[in-house]
Structure 1
Amino acid sequence: MVMHALGNLGKTKLLSVGTLAIGLCLFAASAHAAVTVGDTIAPSNAAEVKDLVSPGVYYAVTHGMRMEIVAPERVDWPPPYRDATEKYSQQVRLTNDHRSMVGYVAGQPFPLIDPNDPYVATKIIWNNVFRPISSDDYDLRFYDCQSEYVRPGQDQRMIDDIEIGHYAGYNIVGRTEVEPMPVDPDFKESGRLWMFALYPVLAPQEARGTGLIRYRYADPNRGDDSWDWTPGTRRVRRLSESILSSATGAQSYDPDHYSGFNPKTEQYNYRFLGEKMMLATVHAQHSPEDTCPYDGGATACPESWEMRHIYIVEATPRSDRLAGGSLDKLTNVYLDAEVWFEPYIDTYDQKGRLWRTHIYWLAYRDRPVPDARVAIYPFKREFVVGAASIDTQGNYSTMCYLPGQHTPERECWYINMGAIDKDFCTVKAMVAAAP
């Protein structure tokens, strides 16, 4: 178990060291049975990792993605987030219906994870909602996504090259590094947990200027407010929640999977499927990521993968809460028990067949790129440096590079630096930014 907050720092450190030791022992046993540090995993020996990754990641490996197996290393939380967990977590509990939570202020809501707890799955998902990767604000500037068909053993044949100006968010609750802390006074008036903005799309030309705004509310019975802007019609459109959790055809990404599993928590039922040591990338070597030359550019590879302690939770949409329904029958969420971010997520269609997989490559460092001059932090933190959404039935992928491979903004990630404010995450600002 990863237990970062038990009321005093000394006890926390002791348990963290114990956790790491257990994880390393489990890694040794697993490595002996399947993979060894220094191995390169390719389609020819993909069977060696079949039980160490999700079915979606296994699909990617069998279709050309390569893994370099490295030794596991520890990941620490940002100290302000850890301190907030120790200060506030003991007052947090689930509501009587075991779906929402009360008493949350900042940090991780439920640092003590007990697999025997009947509501452990819901607590794990709430930990994912308020995760340490960014607690205050973030601004991802000038990144690109390339769409192509999965073509094992062939060169990349790009279908779309998508460039976006900003992927940004402002957290109103759970702030740990930038004033106002720990809760923006706006919460009492708006009831919002966070605000999100994605705009403007810079390419392709037919989508230039498009944007998206999204607000999440604390009220379990209130759905998200979302709007998009289409310059061609010069019209702001309000979006239904079913659109936010659906992706078909060439639309590989949907807003509920932009940053892992991100729908409104209360709109799903959760079941704990277990915990095990599995492979994931949390110490990526490249930034920007390298286009995989072995699968038509569908993923990033080769990259470093290590054994990690993973929680697995099944999420099933509640028909009585998700207006308009969902195209997914269920989603299996794989959460790193130390990083508290999903290295991968698999979704299944209404017939129970694997449909989409989302893979995330993360790097642990004190800056997003080695030559950063502004985005430099006093401690290491995790950065998502690559993300792929793969339609395993249509053999179609959208691979995003964070930072972009040809971006004018090298540093790309600005996390908990006050880079954006609430005004940035408004329809007015989105419309004004359209070229």
Structure 2
Amino acid sequence: MVRHVLGKTMLSVGTLAIGLCLVAASASATVKPGDTIAPSNAAEVRELVSPGVYYAVTHGMRMEITAPDRIDWPPPYREATEKYSQQVRLTNDHRSMVGYIAGQAFPLIDPNDPYVATKIMWNNVFRPISTDDYDLRFYDCQSEYVRPGQDQKIIDDIEIGHYAGYNIVGRTEVEPMPIDPDFKQSGRLWAFALYPVLAPQEARGTGLIRYRYSDPNRGDDSWDWTPGTRRVRRLSEAILSTATGAQSYDPDHYAGFNPKTEQYNYRFLGEREMLASVHAEHSPENTCPYDGGATACPEAWEMRHLYIVEATPRRDLSDASGALDKSTDVYIDTELCFEPYVDTYDQKGRLWRTHIYWLAFRDRPVPDARVAIYPFKREFVVGAASIDTQGNFATMCYLPGQHTPERECWYINMGAIDKDFCTVKSMVAAAP
């Protein structure tokens, strides 16, 4: 078993090191830096990726294998972990947690802990990629059938003005820190906004607002705005786990695995050395020319140490009973605490959908950024694909967009948006 390299930073009350989870590549790996993986030699990575990613490779996606490199947490996030993590614990029912303020909730992960899976998933909720606010501006997605060896044939070309969120709890870089006073009144953990859809024309003006609450028994509040009826509609939890229209995306997978944590049961499936794309070389991402544009490729993939957690909807809860999936396997990078891919299985246990994320570790989202520049490197999602493996249909999103008027695209922890941005009123006002 590969050993974790623990961070040198010490907890404020003692000398116990926190786990920053840098792991060397497995010596037994069948691939090496410099290799190119294509359908012809896909078998070489079958045990090094999820079944969903293997589907993508066998259907045309290419990988350029590179040497693994370290990913450090943003210093403010690391400092918050040192300051607050010792007071965090799971509740008596082992589903929720108490004592959380900011940083990583459970930096010391013990695979033998009977509740290790739940702790890993809470770490995924409060992860270092963005802690305060984020605004992804003018990104685009393209939906198409997976067509190995054929040219791209776009079914739907989608452009969205803002993908944005405001965290109320766990803030580390922008005042108010570490918890917005709004929490005492609203009980919200975060607010999310996606609006307005700018293309295609028939969806122009559509938007989504979503609120997540700390109360484990309270489901998310969500609303959408439909320009055709010019009405705000309240959404059920079940809709958020269902892909709609021409897309294979659903709101529960906009940023990895994102349903309400307490609505699922979790089982730890283990930890393995696997391939992931966390030092992507392109921004905007390349449309893969070998699978009909279903993914981004060629792109850099490297050996990483991943936790694997199975998530199963709690059918005893009305808010989760409408979930169409039987289970989801979440693959979480132990160092960046983000999932490079997620596989979902249908009620018969067959692979149904895979969500693949390409990330870049740098001090700016694009090389020529002038505003979104940080004093340290941080992780950016630069591409995301959602593939219906049974219908051979994909939606590939480019972050930043390939044709965006806003070159910098990602603004993370810069105070780019506030709570008022994540309201129904603002969503309706922004509709063209």
Q: How far off is 1:86 after superposition? A: 0.3
Q: What's the % identity of the aligned pairs?
A: 85
Residues 2, 332 of structure 1: alpha-carbon distance in 2 compared, 3 angstrom cutoff: farther
Change in Cα spacing, 1:9 to 1:154, as seen in structure 2 (3 Å) is farther
Aligned CA distance change for structure 1 residues 157 and 10 (closer, same or farther; 3 Å):
farther
SS at match of 1:377: coil
Deviation at 1:29, TM superposition (A): 1.1
Partner of 1:421: 418
Indicate how the Cα distance of structure 1 residues 6 and 275 shifts in structure 2: closer, same or farther if over 3 A, else same: farther
CA distance in 2, matches of 1:3, 1:73: 15
- Name the aligned partner's letter for residue 340 of structure 2: P
**2:181 is aligned with 1:185:** yes
Distance 1:166 1:248, change over 3 A: closer
User: Which residue pairs with 2:387 in the alignment?
Assistant: 390
Tell whether 2:176 aligns with 1:172: no
Kindly provide the amino acid, as one letter, of the partner of residue 389 in structure 2: T
Extract structure 1 runs of 4+ deviating beyond 3 A: 1-6, 8-16
Contact in 2 for aligned 1:277/1:308 (Cα 8 Å): yes
Moved more, 417-426 or 324-333: 324-333
1:62 is the counterpart of 2:66: no
Match of 2:224 in 1: 228
Shift of 1:247: 2.0
Residue of structure 2 in register with 1:402 after alignment: 399
Amino acid at match of 1:400: C
For 1:236 and 1:383, the matched residues in 2 are separated by 32
Rounded to whole Å, the distance in 2 between the matches of 1:147 and 1:248 is 12
**Matched residue, 2:295:** 299
Alpha-carbon distance between aligned partners in 2 of 1:98 and 1:385, rounded to the nearest angstrom:
34
1:176 is paired with a residue whose SS is coil
Q: Which runs of 5+ in 1 are unaligned?
A: none
**2:313: which partner in 1?**
317
Contact kept in structure 1, 2:277 and 2:359, CA below 8 Å: yes
Q: Which residue in the other structure is 1:7 paired with?
A: 11
Structure 2: gaps (5+ residues): none
1:127-166 map, 5 Å: 127-166=123-162
Q: Does 1:271 align with 2:260?
A: no
Instruction: Please tell me the residue identity of whatever aligns with 2:184.
Output: K
As a proportion of its length, which structure holds more helix? 1
Assess, with a 3 A threshold, how the Cα gap between structure 1 residues 14 and 201 changes in structure 2: closer, same or farther. closer
Residue range with higher mean Cα deviation, 237-246 or 315-324: 315-324
- Alignment map for 1:256-405 (pairs within 5 Å): 256-323=252-319, 324-405=321-402
Query: Alpha-carbon deviations, 1:264-317, whole Å to 9, x = none?
Result: 000000000000100001100000000000000000000000000000000000
Q: Look up the equivalent residue of 1:64 and give its one-letter code.
A: G
Task: Kindly indicate whether the alpha-carbon contact (under 8 Å) linking 1:30 and 1:277 is maintained by their aligned counterparts in 2.
Answer: no
Paired with 1:277 and 1:405, the residues of 2 have a C-alpha distance of 32
Alignment correspondent of 1:203: 199
Question: Counterparts of 1:41 and 1:110 in 2: how far apart (Å)?
Answer: 36
- TM-superposition CA deviations, 1:307-341 (whole Å, max 9, x none): 00000000000012242521000000000000110
CA contact (8 A) 1:3 1:113 kept: no
1:2 touches 1:113 (CA, 8 Å); kept in 2?
no
Aligned residue identity for 1:118: P
Offset at 1:9? 11
Tell me the distance in 1 between the aligned counterparts of 2:297 and 2:109: 33
Where does residue 28 of structure 2 map in the other structure?
A: 30
For 1:106 and 1:350, how far apart are their aligned partners in 2? 37
CA 1:117–1:243 in 2, change beyond 3 Å: closer, same or farther?
same
Of 122, 125, 147 in structure 2, the residue corresponding to residue 126 of structure 1 is: 122
| Pick aligned residue for 2:409 from 409, 412, 416 | 412
1:231-284 Cα offsets, whole Å, 9 max, x none, are 110000000000001126733111000000000000000000000100001100
Cα deviation, residue 13, structure 1: 7.3
Aligned partner (choices 79, 96, 100) of residue 92 of structure 2: 96
Match of 1:434 in 2: 431
Per-residue deviation, 1:48:
0.2
Query: Offset of 1:96 from its aligned partner?
Result: 0.1
Q: In structure 2, do the counterparts of structure 1 residues 411 and 118 end up closer, same or farther at CA, with 3 Å as the change threshold?
A: same
Q: Secondary structure at the match of 1:159?
A: strand
The whole-number CA distance in structure 2 between the counterparts of 1:9 and 1:327 is: 46
CA distance in 2 between counterparts of 1:412 and 1:12 reads 39
Question: Does the CA contact (< 8 Å) of 2:330 and 2:339 recur in 1?
Answer: yes
Name the TM-score, length of structure 1 as normaliser: 0.96
Contact 2:89–2:99 (Cα < 8 Å) also in 1: yes
Corresponding pairs, count: 427
**TM-score normalized by structure 2?**
0.97
Give the 3-state SS of the residue equivalent to 2:384 in structure 1: strand
Tell me how far apart the structure 2 counterparts of residues 142 and 240 of structure 1 sit (CA, whole Å).
Answer: 27
Please give the secondary structure, in 2, of the residue aligned with 1:30. Answer: coil
Distance 1:423 1:262 in 2: 22
The DSSP-based 3-state class of the residue aligned with 2:111 is: coil
SS at match of 2:309: strand
Q: Distance in 1 between matches of 2:42 and 2:14?
A: 42
Is the 8 Å Cα contact of residues 6 and 18 (structure 2) preserved in structure 1? no
Q: Is the 8 A contact 1:300 1:386 kept in 2?
A: yes
CA separation of 1:52 and 1:12: change in aligned 2, threshold 3 A: farther
Aligned-residue RMSD, C-alpha: 1.5
